[in-house]
A and B are shown apart, each in its own frame.
Chain A
Amino acid sequence: DIQMTQSPSSLSASVGDRVTITCRASQSISRYLNWYQQKPGKAPKLLIYAASIFQRGVPSRFSGSGSGTDFTLIISDLQPEDSASYYCQQSYSTPITFGPGTKVDIK
């Protein structure tokens, strides 16, 4: 099985800050990496798929990059509504696996 790790597990940042979340796969997954945002009590929402492609309607302050084993999600201008947990997910092979999540709080 492909193991996914994320760092940091949580962070606190100010409005307007640039936030970086990293995700690492235990083996190469090419660009089969997707990012989700989840707010408390809500279903996850797809932000980025195939490592760097925006899902329709996602604000441009979100961006993704990476390939192979190392990936990054950047929020370039943090907004209050970005307070949430963020998960990476590999879709290279089954079993599909998610990272443990990164909780983003607004200072």
Chain B
Amino acid sequence: EVQLVESGGGLVQPGRSLRLSCVASGFTFADYAMHWVRQAPGKGLEWVSGISWNSGDIAYGDSVKGRFTISRDNAKKSLFLQMNSLRVEDTAVYYCTKLRIAALTDAFDIWGQGTVVTVSS
């Protein structure tokens, strides 16, 4: 079964850091680009960051650029999101998503169940 399982979410104070992880199974992880998409409570979907199959191409949304870092470990079939200098407005469900192809942009065909990040004092 094709599956993405996120972990690492939780309650954190503004200005602190958090590291999200996503473990893939059921497909050849190294063949595909991977992304993070988030959804604030009651709001729509917001793209956060993406990384190509070989980490050669990386991009970030404007709201997280300079604060978040995406990375992957193909040997461990894992995707990561290091989130620093967290803000209240980063509060959201964070989804790990698989792209249909290896390059950086396309449709997201597999989604994890999401991990909740709450930034509050």
Q: Which residues of A contact B (CB under 8 A)?
A: 1, 32, 34, 36, 38, 43-46, 49-50, 55, 87, 89, 91-101
The B10-45 residues at the A interface (CB cut-off 8 A) are 35, 37, 44-45
Known contacts A43-B111, A43-B112, A49-B100; is-contact A91 B106 (Cβ 8 Å): yes
Per the bound structure, the CA–CA distance linking A98 and B37 in Å amounts to: 10
Q: Does residue B59 face the partner (Cβ distance < 8 Å to A)?
A: yes
Q: Which residues of B contact A (CB under 8 A)?
A: 35, 37, 44-47, 50, 59-62, 95, 100, 104-109, 111-114
- Given contact pairs A50-B107, A98-B44, A98-B46, enumerate 19 new A-B contacts (beta carbons under 8 Å): A32-B105, A34-B108, A36-B45, A36-B108, A43-B95, A44-B108, A46-B108, A46-B109, A55-B107, A87-B45, A89-B47, A89-B107, A94-B105, A95-B47, A96-B50, A98-B47, A99-B44, A100-B44, A101-B44
**Is the pair A91, B107 in contact by a Cβ cutoff of 8 Å?**
yes
Which applies to chain A's interface (DSSP): helix, strand, loop or mixed? loop
CB distance B107 to A92 under 8 Å?
no
User: Measured between C-beta atoms, what is the minimum distance from B22 to chain A in Å?
Assistant: 12
Chain A to chain B: the 9 pairs with minimum beta-carbon distance, closest first: A49-B107, A43-B111, A34-B107, A94-B59, A96-B47, A98-B45, A91-B105, A101-B44, A46-B109
Most buried by B among A34, A89, A95, A97: A95
Closest to A32 in B: B105
> How many contacts A-B (CB < 8 Å)?
62
CA distance A96 to B46 in the complex (A): 9
